[in-house]
């Protein structure tokens, strides 16, 4: 295992047997991934892609059928790995009669922390995840977003080197999502490596160094965001005024999609060559170019492009 890698997944395969006839379902098919030390890595994919199965195998919650998973230089299921790992599952269950400090103290005890240190960390983490002031409220009265925050808190009680989070933004409002993003970035600055799965592509695009997209048990694309996101404009919107009917008809005949809003006509143009041709034609006709707005590729474009290509295959 490379010293630069905190996680190495090599040809991981998982098969479940379901139904009365124990039919085989291949949930993950020969997945290989690397997560580097000190980075935030995003694992994306639609429901049923194999993300949660992969994370559960990493945490030894399910058995690896084929292949190998190594975390912090040790092969799963070595129990000593998990002293340095914090984990938040997709659907965590809590003892709902406990109050947040009681719950965090209990989690600290499982890590073997001394009583005074447990109490210190619990109070600090409660403030860190935005739950200060909720000390007297039992967990059964917590909202979905508050439960997600306390779940993140229990993952941090052991001051882990690696944080593995399954849908950590689930149930959070926009303010809560921003606070969690800021928290993850601050943990990265302290040297914590973070792997999380998410359906919220904008959050992934904001904070991740690298991503992998899974679909139907396969990794369809992986890499750093700067390389994956195409820097050239894929589509450009031209806003035009003072265009005559003849020019408008010629533009439509050349397959430039258009729409009118008030005095302005908007043309959607694909590619750099088509943009230059459209601008030359419009300027030559005497039309006024109000704006030229490039639309660059987003993580959502990559996600859907790979999902569709995987479906076609």
Q: Are residues 200 and 156 in the same domain?
A: yes
Q: What count of other Cβ atoms lies within 10 Å of the Cβ of residue 56?
A: 19
Is pLDDT of 166 > 50? Answer: yes
**pTM exceeding 0.85:** no
**C-alpha closest to that of 65 among 112, 117, 137, 15:** 15
Write the pLDDT tens digit of every residue in 91-127.
Answer: 888 999 999 999 999 999 998 999 899 999 999 999 9
Is 266 within 8 Å of 237 (Cβ atoms)?
A: yes
Nearest C-alpha neighbor of 217 from the set 8, 12, 63: 12
Name the domain count of the chain: 2
CB-based contact 62:229 (threshold 8 Å): no
58 and 88 co-located in one domain: yes
Indicate whether 159 and 79 sit together in one domain: yes
256 within 8 A of 239, measured Cβ to Cβ = no
- Per the DSSP assignment, residues forming a β-bridge with 215 are 218
Domain that holds residue 196: 5-96+139-227
- The CATH number of whichever domain residue 156 belongs to comes to 3.40.50.300
Q: Which long-range contacts (CB under 8 A, 24 or more apart) does 285-289 make?
A: 285/243, 285/244, 285/246, 285/247, 286/242, 286/244, 287/240, 287/241, 287/242, 287/243, 287/244, 287/247, 288/240, 288/241, 288/242, 289/238, 289/239, 289/240
Q: What would the pLDDT profile of 124-152 be if each residue is shown by its tens digit?
A: 999 999 999 999 999 999 988 899 999 99
- The yes-or-no verdict on residue 295 having pLDDT over 90 is no
Pair 143, 40 in one domain: yes
> Are 81 and 22 part of one and the same domain?
yes
Evaluate whether 255 touches 267 at the Cβ level (below 8 Å). Answer: no
């Amino acid at each position: 295992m490379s010293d630069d890698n905190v996680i190495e997944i090599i040809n991981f395969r998982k098969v479940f047997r379901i139904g009365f006839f124990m039919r085989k379902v291949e949930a993950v098919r020969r997945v290989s991934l690397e997560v580097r030390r000190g980075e935030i890595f995003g694992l994306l994919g639609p429901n049923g892609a194999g993300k949660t199965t992969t994370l559960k195998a990493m945490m030894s919650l399910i058995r690896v059928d084929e292949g190998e998973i190594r975390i912090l230089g040790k092969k799963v299921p070595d129990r000593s790995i998990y002293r340095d790992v914090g984990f938040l599952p997709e659907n965590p269950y809590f003892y709902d009669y406990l109050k947040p400090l009681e719950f965090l103290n209990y989690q600290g005890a499982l890590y073997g922390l001394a009583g005074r240190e447990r109490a210190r960390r619990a109070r600090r983490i409660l403030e860190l995840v935005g739950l200060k002031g909720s000390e007297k409220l039992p967990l059964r009265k917590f909202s979905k977003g508050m439960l997600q925050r306390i779940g993140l808190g229990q993952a941090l009680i052991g001051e882990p080197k690696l944080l593995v989070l399954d849908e950590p933004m689930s149930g959070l409002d926009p303010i809560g999502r921003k606070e969690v993003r800021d928290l993850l970035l601050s943990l990265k600055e302290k040297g914590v490596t973070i792997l999380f799965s998410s359906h919220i592509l904008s959050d992934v695009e904001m904070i991740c160094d690298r991503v992998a997209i899974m679909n139907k048990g396969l990794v369809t694309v992986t890499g750093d965001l700067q390389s994956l996101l195409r820097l050239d404009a894929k589509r450009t919107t031209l806003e035009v005024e003072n265009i005559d009917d003849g020019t408008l008809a010629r533009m439509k005949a050349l397959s430039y999609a258009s729409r009118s809003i008030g005095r302005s006509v908007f043309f959607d143009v694909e590619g750099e060559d088509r943009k230059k041709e459209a601008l030359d034609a419009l300027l030559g006709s005497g039309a006024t170019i109000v704006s030229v707005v490039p639309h660059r590729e987003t993580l959502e474009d990559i996600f859907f492009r790979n999902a569709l290509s995987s479906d076609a295959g």
